[in-house]
Structure 1
Amino acid sequence: MEAVMRITDTIKAFRETRLSAIRPPQEFFDYNRISRPADLNTAVTRISYNTRYFSGNYSLIFAALGVYALITKPYLLIALVFLIGGFAAINKWAPEPMQVGQHVVTQKSLYTGLFVIGIPLLWYADPLGFAFWLVGASAIVILGHACMIEPGIESEYASVQEAV
């Protein structure tokens, strides 16, 4: 029960911090503010401001790319479901050793079997490729958007608000 409470608290905290910062689509996709930065300093300034300003939107983009990558990598999804589901099933239904025929099956032997099957399955599913693709794709999309969108007029007053 405590685990469920922790999960709901984490979701509430995420919603309050990141999802409350989501900007409307009209502002996020404002094609009137798209322009090529004049130089590297302008690009860095835009990226610095826009990553803070659109942080909620960028979190959604990262999550959407993660879901897309999991859907397109069914082996990784199967491996994760197998390992997480097996771990949960062993904890729930086999906390004590049990007699099966002439053998005593312990929780340790079940975990050993789970990992002997699950780790090669996970290795074959290429989780590092998934992680690198996710980081690379999100970096290209997020940094590209942050670099190309001109900050609004409110960006001029951001340093004034911080000083007050």
Structure 2
Amino acid sequence: MDTLIRVTDTIKSFRETRLSALRPPQEFFDFNRISRPADLNTSISRISYNTRYFSGNYGLIVAVLAVYAVISNPLLLISLAFLVGGFAAINKFGADPVTMGDRVITQKTLYTVLFCIGVPLLWWSSPLGTFFWLVGASGFLIVGHAAIMEPGVESEYASVQDAV
């Protein structure tokens, strides 16, 4: 019961902090504000402002791309499920040593077997390639969007609020 309360509190906290930063799709995809930056300084100032302003939307983009990357790599999905499921099963059922014939199987033995099978399986599923694809794809989308979106009228007042 205590775990359920912590989970609901975490979800409420996440919703209040991160999801409140989401901008509506009409604002995120406002085609009237798209333009080519005049120079590098304009591009950098747009990227700086838009990454803060659309941070919730960009976080959602990274999360969606991460889910896509894991789902599109079935071996990575299987190896992650094997490792997470193995940890959960060992913690739930493997706390007490079990005697099979003349061998005693302890929790340490189960973790060793899990690592000996899980780590090569995970390495074979190419998590680094997936990670770098995720970094590249999300970086390209986020920097591209932030560079071509003109800051809104409210950006002019942001410097006034910072000075006060």
Q: TM-score, normalising length from structure 1?
A: 0.95
Deviations 1:61-119 (A, max 9, x none): 00000011011101111101100110110010010111122211100100010000000
Identify the residue that residue 13 of structure 1 maps to in structure 2.
13
Local SS of the residue matching 1:137? helix
The number of equivalent residue pairs is 164
Distance 1:6 1:129, change over 3 A: farther
Distance 1:17 1:132, change over 3 A: same
Deviations 1:96-154 (A, max 9, x none): 11112221110010001000000000000111111111111000000100000000010
Identify the residue that residue 111 of structure 2 maps to in structure 1.
111
Q: TM-score, normalising length from structure 2?
A: 0.95
Distance between the aligned counterparts of 2:5 and 2:135, measured in 1?
A: 30
Question: Is 1:77 paired with 2:65?
Answer: no
Distance 1:9 1:47, change over 3 A: same
1:13 to partner: Cα distance: 2.5
Distance between the aligned counterparts of 2:103 and 2:68, measured in 1?
A: 44
Where does the alignment leave 5 or more consecutive residues of structure 2 unmatched?
Answer: none
Identity between Structure 1 and Structure 2 (%):
70
Local SS of the residue matching 2:35? coil
1:20 to partner: Cα distance: 0.3
Q: CA RMSD in A?
A: 1.3
Distance between the aligned counterparts of 2:60 and 2:28, measured in 1?
A: 12
User: Aligned partner of 1:10: which letter?
Assistant: T
Question: Is 1:137 paired with 2:131?
Answer: no
Question: Is 1:45 paired with 2:45?
Answer: yes
Distance between the aligned counterparts of 1:2 and 1:90, measured in 2?
A: 22
1:7 to partner: Cα distance: 4.1
Identify the residue that residue 154 of structure 2 maps to in structure 1.
154
Distance between the aligned counterparts of 1:104 and 1:4, measured in 2?
A: 35
Where has structure 1 moved over 2 Å in runs of 4 or more? Answer: 1-14
Distance between the aligned counterparts of 1:128 and 1:5, measured in 2?
A: 35
Distance between the aligned counterparts of 1:88 and 1:139, measured in 2?
A: 34
Question: Is 1:96 paired with 2:86?
Answer: no
Which stretch shows the higher mean deviation, 31-40 or 100-109?
100-109
